[in-house]
Structure 1
Amino acid sequence: MSANHHVITPAAIARHPLVRQTKDAIQALDDISIDIGHYHLSLLNALWMAMVVILAFALAQGCSKLARRLVRQIKGLDPTQMELGEKGVTLGVWAFAFLATIDALGISLTAFTVFSGAFGLAIGFGLQKTFGNLIAGIIILMDRSIKPGDVIAVNDGTMGVVRKIGIRAATVTALDNREYLIPNEILMTSQVENWSYSSREVSISVPVGISYDSDLDLAEKLLLEAAHSVERVLATPAPSVIVSALGPSSIDLTVSVWILDPERGVGGIRSQVLKAALRLFKENGVEIPFPQQDLRLRNSEGLQALAGMARRPDPAG
């Protein structure tokens, strides 16, 4: 063996200054500790636990994003099945990461069972709404009553397109591009109008009143013409006009039209139909009445005296 050839032995590595400094630092961190029963808790253990938790959190977050991306690439899934699949893989990844972290930290499952009982009680009181919304969201996705892309109207007046059904709430984008976060429990327990549950064809009623002196048949013809002139109104089912009431000042008509894009709103449809109807009414002499009342005075002695005074000639004249 050559004299210039050095053999690196474990003893030589252990005597290296950097190795000795590292060992001294580890020992110093381990000396900063407290004992609780049979458990020895040191600063070294705390740093190790924090590093494991951070690493597990980062890996779980990355794996859940990758799993959701893979689910989106599966062909043949509708938006509801895709949303449900993403939630399932996300919960699975985080559950596995949690159990793996517990195993890596060497926490006894017996001790964890006792701790989980107290922790579960705290969750039951403090996070019951969160878990309730989670279960409600899963139920909504499973029974397909509300799906991403549906147009819904909640009983508080909120209307828009469902963009996402999350763990806690559903994201609904209104016509003015404002986004509402509606808790899943509200969607499951309250009355919700789903305008696109089985079909995207939606009927809209537009009330119109005409004078009793107007030609009723002509008015119906002009209203149908006004409805057909609006771009968003469907030709099939065709628009229709009915006499809904004989009001005190007008004949009340109702124009029914059908649209295929409720997510764009219904106020614009009513406005366009009424504007076209007003223009056609003016061109064809159909009157839109204004409220009016007939005043009838009963015959009495007081009225006769007033009438006599009115007929009496003016002395100054």
Structure 2
Amino acid sequence: MIELAIAGGLVLLALAIGVFAGRKIGPRFTDLWATHVASHGEGLGPRMTQIVRHGVAAILLAIIVNAYPWPPIAGAPIGLALGVAAALFAQQVLRGLGIARWMAWIIAAIIFVALFSRSVGGLDAITNTLDMVGFNVGKRRLSLLWLVTILITGVALIAVVRLANRVVSHSITRSKAFDPTQKLLAQKLASIAVIIAAFFIGIDMLNIDLTAFAVFGGALGLAVGFGLQKTVGNLIAGIILLMDRSIKPGDVIVVGDSFGWVNKIGVRAVSVVTRDGKEHLIPNENLMTQEVENWSYSDRNVRVRIPVGVSYDCDLKLAQELMLKAASDSPRVLDTPKPNVWLSGFGDSSVDHEILAWITDPESGVGNVRSDVLNRLWWMFKEHGIEIPFPQRDVHIRSSVTPSDQ
């Protein structure tokens, strides 16, 4: 009874310390996580207080349960509290990393049963029972225990991969040594490296012989050779685009009939957002094999051509000055290089000009610049009596008198 009372007191103390740590240290961990590890939208951030609370309690209870050979009657409350704290800790972490709610609760339940059974000496009985329900395939035993192990290992690796990807991605984003394209390339390479490392770690943890993948590897090679050529080609093309920096997020490009700014370079396709809000997904391979017009490859300045026609009877010099003023007054037109006006030809009804104006933000659109300049020019022409002609035709009718009319 004395050991039971001591065990109960230690359990209450551990839980109280966990609550205290959650209230005092949890907010600090939340701020530290949001500032140095992941973005403010990270799922673990809002759960950090609960994670610290249950994690500290689980660590203290684990120390208590292993520090003394407790009899089953005294070990039961410690194991119960340890199982609950560890299960809640795992559930909060998994949910914060985007694992489905039902899966997180299944893993939490398995952790609770395992820790509680171990503290009262019944874990071997459970594992033996699970292992008995199954059958042998060659040298491997397929049982409920094996399925539970696969489930726990798979979920744990998925959680670790997501956590590592978010931490690495945030660290690369905060780095000042890379430009945006290099950051995106580093994030993708790091993500691939994390997935490959997790795969081999999982193979090792499950004691799977890699020679078993020989046939699978051959079949995968044939599949890539015959059916996945485009997928692999797009993947390699995407990596090449990021490495040679010919197309970067934020660039304004024209591919066929698609005109817009590059929103994202993905594994399979490049996302191009048009001024209409439409998002075109162009396969990476197309950008490698087709002609691409990149308006911001080496210089973001783009020249806009605005055709204008004026009457033959107007003051041509004044009209040209007004064209320059209308372009200069437009807020998006650059002062350097200066806008210019060219006389492009003598048309049938008008003297044709082109206003040449430079902008540095083509992703914001080109048509709206033309519209702004022409609107300003319209009112200036009205104010100064400059006529914008419209096509006119003179029809001459010749009358003829035939002998029959006389």
Whether these two folds match at TM > 0.5 is: yes
Q: How large is the Cα RMSD of the aligned pairs?
A: 2.9
AA matched with 1:19 = G
1:136 aligns with 2:251: no
Give 1:94 shift: 0.9
Please give the alpha-carbon distance, in whole angstroms, between the structure 2 residues aligned to 1:75 and 1:282.
53
Q: Report what 1:245 is aligned to.
A: 345
Do the aligned partners of residues 80 and 214 (structure 1) sit closer, same or farther apart at CA in structure 2, a change above 3 Å counting? same
Please give the alpha-carbon distance, in whole angstroms, between the structure 1 residues aligned to 2:404 and 2:234.
77
Please give the alpha-carbon distance, in whole angstroms, between the structure 2 residues aligned to 1:209 and 1:246.
9
Q: Report what 2:221 is aligned to.
A: 120
1:276 aligns with 2:376: yes
Q: Report what 1:3 is aligned to.
A: none
Q: Report what 1:187 is aligned to.
A: 287
Pairing partner for 1:201 from 285, 297, 301? 301
Q: Report what 2:315 is aligned to.
A: 215
Please give the alpha-carbon distance, in whole angstroms, between the structure 2 residues aligned to 1:18 and 1:196.
68
Q: Report what 2:172 is aligned to.
A: 71
Q: Report what 2:144 is aligned to.
A: 43
Task: Please tell me whether the aligned partners of residues 258 and 274 of structure 2 are also in contact (alpha carbons under 8 angstroms).
Answer: no
Who wins on radius of gyration, i.e. which is larger? 1
More helix by share: 2
1:245-274 CA distance string (max 9 Å, x none): 332222221111111222221112111111
Please give the alpha-carbon distance, in whole angstroms, between the structure 1 residues aligned to 2:264 and 2:217.
32
Do the aligned partners of residues 17 and 287 (structure 1) sit closer, same or farther apart at CA in structure 2, a change above 3 Å counting? closer
Instruction: Report the TM-score when normalising by structure 1.
Output: 0.82
Pairing partner for 1:19 from 117, 121, 128? 121
Please give the alpha-carbon distance, in whole angstroms, between the structure 2 residues aligned to 1:99 and 1:302.
104
Q: Report what 1:34 is aligned to.
A: 135
Please give the alpha-carbon distance, in whole angstroms, between the structure 1 residues aligned to 2:344 and 2:156.
69
AA matched with 2:295 = W
Please give the alpha-carbon distance, in whole angstroms, between the structure 1 residues aligned to 2:342 and 2:240.
41
AA matched with 1:209 = G
Please give the alpha-carbon distance, in whole angstroms, between the structure 2 residues aligned to 1:102 and 1:17.
30
Task: Please tell me whether the aligned partners of residues 326 and 376 of structure 2 are also in contact (alpha carbons under 8 angstroms).
Answer: yes
1:85 aligns with 2:207: no
Do the aligned partners of residues 304 and 145 (structure 1) sit closer, same or farther apart at CA in structure 2, a change above 3 Å counting? farther
User: Which runs of no fewer than 5 residues in structure 2 stay unpaired?
Assistant: 1-67, 76-117
Q: Which has the higher contact order (CA 8 A, sep 6+)?
A: 1
Please give the alpha-carbon distance, in whole angstroms, between the structure 1 residues aligned to 2:291 and 2:403.
59
Do the aligned partners of residues 236 and 303 (structure 1) sit closer, same or farther apart at CA in structure 2, a change above 3 Å counting? farther
Pairing partner for 1:154 from 252, 255, 258? 255
1:61 aligns with 2:181: no
Q: Report what 1:255 is aligned to.
A: 355
Q: Report what 1:313 is aligned to.
A: none
DSSP 3-state at the match of 2:166: helix
Q: Report what 1:145 is aligned to.
A: 246
Please give the alpha-carbon distance, in whole angstroms, between the structure 2 residues aligned to 1:143 and 1:257.
30
Instruction: Report the TM-score when normalising by structure 2.
Output: 0.65
Please give the alpha-carbon distance, in whole angstroms, between the structure 2 residues aligned to 1:121 and 1:255.
58
Please give the alpha-carbon distance, in whole angstroms, between the structure 1 residues aligned to 2:404 and 2:369.
56
Give 1:197 shift: 1.0
Q: Report what 1:232 is aligned to.
A: 332
DSSP 3-state at the match of 1:158: strand
Q: Report what 1:171 is aligned to.
A: 271
Please give the alpha-carbon distance, in whole angstroms, between the structure 1 residues aligned to 2:329 and 2:215.
72
1:95 aligns with 2:196: yes
Give 1:239 shift: 1.4
User: Which runs of no fewer than 5 residues in structure 1 stay unpaired?
Assistant: 1-5, 309-317
Please give the alpha-carbon distance, in whole angstroms, between the structure 2 residues aligned to 1:93 and 1:178.
33
Please give the alpha-carbon distance, in whole angstroms, between the structure 1 residues aligned to 2:390 and 2:140.
88
AA matched with 2:205 = A
Number of matched pairs = 294
Please give the alpha-carbon distance, in whole angstroms, between the structure 2 residues aligned to 1:302 and 1:45.
112
Please give the alpha-carbon distance, in whole angstroms, between the structure 1 residues aligned to 2:274 and 2:69.
75
Do the aligned partners of residues 302 and 127 (structure 1) sit closer, same or farther apart at CA in structure 2, a change above 3 Å counting? farther
1:22-50 CA distance string (max 9 Å, x none): 43432332233233344332222122122
